[in-house]
Structure 1
Amino acid sequence: MGKTAGRKKRIIITTAAMLAIGGGAAFAYWTGVGTTSTAVNSGTESALTVAVASLADGVLTPGGPGQSAVITVTNPGKGVQKLNKIDVRVANSDGTPWVKVTGCSADDFDVAASIDQVQIQAGKSATGTVTIGMKNSDKDQNACKNVAVPLYFSVS
């Protein structure tokens, strides 16, 4: 029995030692899977601005020579903006129809603006021209003498 007890004792000690050695070297861990996302707001750009140089000297007369001026469209934003076209009409600063006095209206004038389609870099400008002339009408146009004709621009 001494031999069997000694043998059992050695087996138990050896097994315990192997477990201790193997158990000490074993590592347990969790594998992890995760995702993340973020968003960057694109925001909106500042509106393009339009400035008009002074019109040429002279006055508008029915059927007489028109006047022209340089227009400058500026991009005050932080990114590139595309200028497709510019529209101009005789109108109040809010775009509503203009009537200075009875007998003189936007219908007495021809206006046009031209500018190339262009991409305008941030802080940069593009230039074009605006022209205005007074139509020669069959009606009395005396009411249009000495009036300041407002021009309303819109860009897209």
Structure 2
Amino acid sequence: MSKVAGRKKRIIITTAALVAIGGGAAFAYWSATGTGTGEASTGETVAFTVLSTPATGDALSPGGPVQTAAFTVTNGNTGTQNLASVTAEVANADGTEWTAGNCSAADFLVGSPAITTGQLAAGAVANGTVTIQMVNRNANQDDCQGVTVPLYFEAK
């Protein structure tokens, strides 16, 4: 009986060992592939906001002093936009020609705005300045006395 017990013991140990080694390694699976679609949406360009402060310096007069106006350009978009350039001129708030009697934009010289251009992050502000001077046209410029000269900015 001890031979039978020893033999049973060896069979049980061998079976347990084979189950432990090979039983965990037996995997079966199906392979498959699939496709699908999705989408994302992009935003749109949002116009820059340009705000300026009144020009500072001595009062303008024909061939006289230069005034400087500070301005800011704000990116109101939720993403980065490229600020390529800023221009300034004497014009009405809607960009149309400005006159006050015989005084017009031709009586003034607006310098090139000084501002750093390039990528402007969402909500970021770029600061700049621009100069304005009254030119001496060698003509009567009395209508330019005491006027407020409007500056029109365009940021692209």
**Corresponding residue for residue 154 of structure 1:** 154
**Corresponding residue for residue 119 of structure 1:** 119
Name the aligned partner's letter for residue 152 of structure 2: Y
Aligned residues: 126
Where 2:62 maps in the other structure, the secondary structure is coil
**Corresponding residue for residue 51 of structure 1:** 51
- Partners of 1:79 and 1:122 within 8 A in 2: yes
- Deviation per CA, 1:49-93: give whole Å up to 9, x if none: 111123214311000011002211111111111111100111111
Counterparts of 1:1-80 in structure 2, within 5 Å, are 35-80=35-80
Q: Normalised by the size of structure 2, how large is the TM-score? A: 0.74
- Deviation per CA, 1:2-45: give whole Å up to 9, x if none: xxxxxxxxxxxxxxxxxxxxxxxxxxx9x986533222221213
The gaps in structure 1 that reach 5 residues or longer are 1-28
**Corresponding residue for residue 104 of structure 1:** 103
- Partners of 1:87 and 1:154 within 8 A in 2: yes
Where 1:47 maps in the other structure, the secondary structure is coil
- Partners of 1:45 and 1:79 within 8 A in 2: no
Task: State the alpha-carbon separation in 2 of the partners of residues 94 and 34 from structure 1.
Answer: 56
- Partners of 2:58 and 2:65 within 8 A in 1: no
Task: State the alpha-carbon separation in 1 of the partners of residues 141 and 96 from structure 2.
Answer: 22
- Deviation per CA, 1:92-142: give whole Å up to 9, x if none: 1111111121x1110000112121222111111111111111001111000
Identity %: 42
Larger radius of gyration: 1
Q: Normalised by the size of structure 1, how large is the TM-score? A: 0.74
The gaps in structure 2 that reach 5 residues or longer are 1-29
Name the aligned partner's letter for residue 99 of structure 1: T
Task: State the alpha-carbon separation in 2 of the partners of residues 39 and 99 from structure 1.
Answer: 52
Task: State the alpha-carbon separation in 2 of the partners of residues 49 and 60 from structure 1.
Answer: 27
- Where has structure 1 moved over 6 Å in runs of 4 or more? none
**CA-based RMSD:** 1.8
